[in-house]
Amino acid sequence: MIKAVVGANWGDEGKGKITDMLAKEADIIVRFQGGANAGHTIVNDYGKFALHTLPSGVFYNHTTSVIGNGVALNVPLVFKEIQDIVSKGVPTPKILISDRAQMVMSYHILFDQYEEERLGGKSFGSTKSGIAPFYSDKFAKIGFQVSELFDEEALKEKVAGICEKKNVMLEYLYHKPLLKPEEIFEELMSYKKMLEPYVCDVSLFLWNALKEGKEILLEGQLGSLKDPDHGIYPMVTSSSTLAGYGAVGAGVPPYEIKKIITVCKAYSSAVGAGAFVSEIFGDEADELRRRGGDGGEFGATTGRPRRMGWFDAVASKYGCRMQGTTDVAFTVLDVLGYLDEIPVCVGYDIDGKVTTDFPTTTLLEKAKPVYETLPGWKCDIRGIKKYEDLPENCRKYIEFVEEKIGFPITMISNGPGRDDIIYR
């Protein structure tokens, strides 16, 4: 059976923690999209870790961690990540990397930086990890697939052609140093050396695992609202963040994805530019940012302060629907324990008309939040294990949100640790 763990919002919902927790019962954990541009923060017995490309199951002995074909594979970073966790005492994880995954090249990262520079104030707020240039090249059919590393003659020819094309942009658009084909080839050969022991026909591996009755977890990066088709285009990421894409990005039958656990945060946060209807500012935002997550709401990859807001039921209802949610994991609820009252965005006012359906970007830019305010519970709920033991106002908040989004909240996360979870 396959379960997917995906985000309902703008990312940073706590997917890493939920995946790490569910990985206890799983055999295989697969990353199916995205790259090292976002991070999952995980707190467990070994310490606190920020993972960017490795699946969140790498901390267990019994699991196999898989990097699927849909991932933007930054080879040196993956190896650095493996070294980092091993140096902190985690047993060397079993890792497989798809022979159909494509590699982020050093020039993708440069092009990302050059483009942000060129756009100046109109930039997308990219993390400059090369993700957009990487996926552009993949779909323009000028990317490098891991399998291609094993035919050096063909590779040399391809490198020459790509450098010719890239150098036109470097010379005339960006006015930057040109690429040298020999250096790009060397870069690829260094990746080959690192990758060789891990390369695998992943879809076949997963197919066989399914036949043996193994439990597979698909781990998504970012959330529904960053999906290139269904998110807040163009302020989105460059690969699909939806569970449905898990079938493509891992190479598994779509009908095998039986459970879709959508992680939804008890308040909102976002990084990068784009409309954010329930955003809050000033002291109110600073306080929530400081108290948020585990040690504050700052990007796991960039350290950038996240933009903060109240829970957005319009965006979350849509986010859960687009994922095909079977279960909602409602996270970081403990953080809200300091508030006397908690506003929830229950509708968008667009040109005087209130809607609860999430609109396209042009209309979203005009949306103003409609709030309902709920009473706070004014206490620390960490350590509570049973739903009935939560304060009444806290249960009311959960039930209010559940009704507004229309999907069942079956898990409540009340702390960053593996065991800070309440099943309902």
**Annotation: binding site for GTP:** 11-17, 39-41, 306, 332-334, 413-415
11 belongs to the binding site for ligand GDP (CB under 6 A): yes
Residues numbered 272 to 311 that lie near ligand GDP (CB under 6 A) are: 293-294, 300
Window contacting ligand GDP (CB under 6 A); options: 11-19, 24-32, 64-72, 185-193? 11-19
Residues numbered 227 to 246 that lie near ligand GDP (CB under 6 A) are: none
Which of 6, 9, 14, 81 lies at the binding interface for ligand GDP (CB under 6 A)?
Answer: 14
Which CB sits closer to ligand GDP, 13 or 99? 13
By CB under 6 A, how many residues form the interface with ligand GDP? 24
137 belongs to the binding site for ligand GDP (CB under 6 A): no
Question: Residue holding tokens 């779509």?
Answer: 254
Rounded CA gap, 344 and 15, in Å? 22
Residue 12 annotated among the catalytic residues of the structure: yes
Over the window 327 to 356, marking each residue x when it contacts ligand GDP by CB under 6 A and - when it does not, the resulting string is ----xx-xx---------------------
Q: Which residues contact 297 (CB under 8 A, 6 or more apart)?
A: 12, 269, 288, 289, 305, 306, 308
β pairing state of 353-355 and 341-350:
antiparallel
Which CB sits closer to ligand GDP, 158 or 418? 418
Which CB sits closer to ligand GDP, 31 or 404? 31
Question: Of the residues 40, 52, 108, 230, which is catalytic?
Answer: 40
Nearest approach, Cβ of residue 149 and ligand GDP (Å)? 30
Nearest approach, Cβ of residue 222 and ligand GDP (Å)? 8
Over the window 384 to 413, marking each residue x when it contacts ligand GDP by CB under 6 A and - when it does not, the resulting string is -----------------------------x
Nearest approach, Cβ of residue 297 and ligand GDP (Å)? 8
Which CB sits closer to ligand GDP, 149 or 232? 232
Over the window 32 to 71, marking each residue x when it contacts ligand GDP by CB under 6 A and - when it does not, the resulting string is ------x-xx-x----------------------------
Nearest approach, Cβ of residue 60 and ligand GDP (Å)? 17
Which CB sits closer to ligand GDP, 295 or 408? 295
Nearest approach, Cβ of residue 54 and ligand GDP (Å)? 12
Length of the chain: 424
Residue type, 25: E
Window contacting ligand GDP (CB under 6 A); options: 136-144, 174-182, 208-216, 415-423? 415-423
Tokens of 134: 């990487």
Alpha carbon 149 to chain centroid, angstroms? 28
Which CB sits closer to ligand GDP, 11 or 347? 11
Q: Nearest-5° angle of CA 159, CA 160, CA 161?
A: 90
Whole-angstrom CA distances from 324 to 122, 230, 327 are 34, 13, 9
Which of 13, 115, 227, 402 lies at the binding interface for ligand GDP (CB under 6 A)?
Answer: 13
Which CB sits closer to ligand GDP, 126 or 413? 413
17 belongs to the binding site for ligand GDP (CB under 6 A): yes
Q: Which residues contact 362 (CB under 8 A, 6 or more apart)?
A: none
Alpha carbon 335 to chain centroid, angstroms? 21
Nearest approach, Cβ of residue 170 and ligand GDP (Å)? 33
β pairing state of 199-200 and 94-98:
parallel
Rounded CA gap, 1 and 209, in Å? 9
8 belongs to the binding site for ligand GDP (CB under 6 A): no
Residue 108 annotated among the catalytic residues of the structure: no
Dihedral pair phi/psi, residue 5, rounded to 5° = -115, 115
Residues numbered 313 to 332 that lie near ligand GDP (CB under 6 A) are: 331-332
Rounded CA gap, 153 and 191, in Å? 16
Q: Which residues contact 258 (CB under 8 A, 6 or more apart)?
A: 1, 2, 3, 326
Annotated binding site for IMP: 12-15, 37-40, 127, 141, 237, 304
Cβ–Cβ under 8 Å, residues 4 and 260: yes
β pairing state of 257-265 and 72-73:
unpaired
Active site residues: 12, 40
**Residues found near ligand GDP in the complex (CB under 6 A):** 7, 11-17, 38, 40-41, 43, 293-294, 300, 331-332, 334-335, 413-416, 420
